[in-house]
Amino acid sequence: MSDPKKGPLYITNTLSRRKEEFVPLRPPHVGLYVCGPTVYSDVHLGNVRSFLTFDVLYRWLTHLGYKVRYVRNITDVGHLVGDIDEGEDKIAKRARLEQLEPMEIVQKYTNGFHDVMRLFNLLSPSIEPTATGHLIEQIGMVERIIKSGYGYEANGSVYFDVPKFAEKHAYGELSGRRIDELLTNTRDTEGMEEKRSPLDFAIWKKAEPQHLMKWPSPWGEGFPGWHLECSAMSTKYLGGTFDIHGGGMDLKFPHHECEIAQSVAADGHVPVRYWMHGNMLTVNGRKMAKSEGNGFTPEELLSGNHKLLEKGYSAMTVRFFMLQSHYASTLDFSNAAMQAGEKGLERLMAAMTVLGKLKPGALDGADVTALEKRCYEAMNDDINTPVMIGELFEGVRIINSVNDGKLTLTATSIERLSTLMNTMVFDVLGLKQEQQIAGDDRAMDGLVQEFIRMRAEAKARKDFTASDAIRDRLTALGIILKDTKEGTAWERA
RNA sequence: GGUCGCGUGGCCGAGUGGCUAGGCACAGCUCUGCAAAAGCUGCUACUGCGGUUCGAAUCCGCACGCGACCUCCA
């Protein structure tokens, strides 16, 4: 980018397992694809972490001046439940249980997903394509794979021939798997006689009679394989090869590995230049997952009404808590850590309010330029939000010191600090003020100011019994008074 | 069983060869009528055992502990 303080950006590419300088294919444009949710149940906090990781990446790329096309899909063709059922579509299964149309389920949980994204202040993607809306593209891709010789039909289903593909192309590169090891580790394939190899995966699946979501195809009634939608839709909206593909660590294999194979087989080139994977949110050291039953919904989180929660936490507390660890590290959820995050966020946000009221001085007692530089370096070093937040607390210290008259900053530096803090806290980290601050509600503020005046009068005549009574009663109502040199401020608890 | 990764102070969590991360908690101090808020100060760790190096939390090996994916499967 033209502004030297802003670049270059380094990100960890799963393909090389190293930090690489990010150079877009067609600057200033950047194509970003992120695997979205499967809309057959509520998203839980672990899912949110993954989407949050790429939300911040999207925000940062945008801040750096890139024109980002951010595509995040909705998987509304069912996946298998896996170890529970016998090949029944997840969405169809849910539908029968709840006596709903499949698309009703899809709509319900898509709406819920959007609500959660809004709650945690995640930006909307540029395009949010659905799998059901792209059947033609997916069928086209299956045809191209068959044509290239890497797909074969068996009994109405079409499978991807992994061993044949691996003869001429890399398979397992992304996830560090070797085809011979995969074969060695695979058990008997009984019941899967349609497949030529246990490593083969379906790219089109024949629909059983009871299956509700199905479409006509050259191979009969069926539905697309679950790796296919991302390949078809990313190709459609971002091109045959695009810049960044993100997703949770658990999608590396087989999902993303299969995506690569499909694109190479269908179109002859690798689809993605930089693969990025976010790590898992854990609870007591275990991955938060639907199958573990250790997830909670946003409602439970906010209310604290869940056995894992000692109390409720605000969405921004959660967002801040998550950003205090690096996206590539596992993060363990605990009440103690949440409460620490809650306190830290309060201090940060309080400073943001103070920031707007700073009075300039003649000299600079702090180096804002250096602070700014460190913030950019942290973000450019693989989106290191925890380090960046550490720097922001240096900013908090400066702000409060200036406010206390213990440090001075020139008007220019205050302006610069203000821009930096506001940009990083609100635009990049995507935090927002949740607490009602004084002044938001004029009637309320007027009332409280009246009490503050009464208390000041009591204090002036040394009637501390009366002044403390006023303060204590306001505290009991959730109004906290803070005495400063300029007078008394208030905030809600 | 295979592959990959992790193990940091009271808690959370950065850090990849020498330089105090940061947050929370705790203690003391300043300010204050008291409190709160804020600032300052203190608490200085890196699973164990070997090795490389002038020097290792950071590199290598082994051990122990933990996790993710795969091992059933679209």
Q: Which comes out higher in pLDDT, residue A31 or A187? A: A31
pLDDT band at A140 (very low <50, low <70, confident <90, very high): very high
Indicate if the pLDDT at residue A85 is higher than 70: no
Whether the per-residue pLDDT at A76 is higher than 50: the answer is yes
pLDDT value at A83 more than 50: no
How much is the pLDDT for A41? 85
The fold for domain A10-278 equals Rossmann fold (3.40.50)
Buried b (16+ CB within 10 A) or exposed e, A431-441: beeeeebbeee
pLDDT bucket at A290, cuts 50 / 70 / 90? confident
The reply to whether A85 has its C-beta less than 7 Å from any atom of strand B is: no
Rounded, the Å distance between the CA of A280 and C1' of B28 is 40
Q: Is the C-beta of residue A83 closer than 7 Å to nucleic acid chain B?
A: yes
Q: Please check the confidence at residue A310 and state whether its pLDDT lies above 80.
A: yes
Task: Identify the pLDDT of residue A99.
Answer: 66
Whether nucleic acid strand B comes within 7 Å of the CB of A291, the answer is no
Positions in chain B where some atom is under 7 Å from a protein CB: 1-6, 11-15, 21-25, 32-40, 66-74
> How far in angstroms lies nucleotide B52's C1' from the CA of residue A285?
34
Give me the pLDDT at residue A295, please: 84
Mean pLDDT of A7-24: 91
Residue bearing the bigger pLDDT, A6 or A114: A114
Give the residue nearest to nucleotide B1 (CA to C1').
A185
Unique residue bearing structure tokens 């009994």: A155
Residue A438: is its pLDDT beyond 70? no
**For residue A78, what pLDDT is reported?**
66
| pLDDT (0 to 100) of residue A242 | 96
Interval A452-493: pLDDT, tens: 888 888 888 888 888 888 888 888 777 777 776 667 877 776
**A112-116, A267-271, A300-304, A438-442: lowest mean pLDDT where?**
A438-442
The pLDDT of residue A493: 66
pLDDT, residue A191, reads 44
pLDDT above 50: residue A190: no
Can you give the pLDDT at residue A186? 57
The mean pLDDT of A187-214, rounded to a whole number, is 76
Side-chain-side CA neighbours of residue A5 (13 Å): 10
Q: What is the pLDDT of residue A3?
A: 56
Percent of chain A having pLDDT more than 70?
Answer: 91
A129: Cβ under 7 Å from strand B? no
Q: How far is the CA of A182 from the C1' of B2 (A)?
A: 8
Q: Which of residues 471-490 of A touch strand B (CB under 7 A)?
A: 471, 480-484
Fold match between A10-278 and A282-428?
A: no
Q: Does the pLDDT at position A307 exceed 90? A: no
What pLDDT is stored for residue A195 in this prediction?
86
Contact A119, A156 (CB under 8 A): no
* Mean confidence (pLDDT) of chain A: 87
| A374-414 pLDDT per residue, tens | 999 999 999 999 999 999 999 999 999 999 889 999 999 99
Q: How confident is the model at residue A182 (pLDDT cuts 50, 70, 90)?
A: confident
Domain ranges in chain A are 10-278, 282-428, 442-492
CATH, domain A282-428, list 3.30.365.10, 3.40.462.40, 3.40.50.620, 1.10.730.10 = 1.10.730.10
> Which A residues 347-406 have CB within 7 Å of strand B?
347, 350, 382, 384, 386-387, 389-390, 393-394, 396-397, 400-401, 403-404, 406
The answer on pLDDT for A437 being more than 70 is no
Residues in A 166-185 whose C-beta is less than 7 A from nucleic strand B are 175-177, 181-182, 185
Comparison of pLDDT for A463 and A218, the residue scoring more: A218
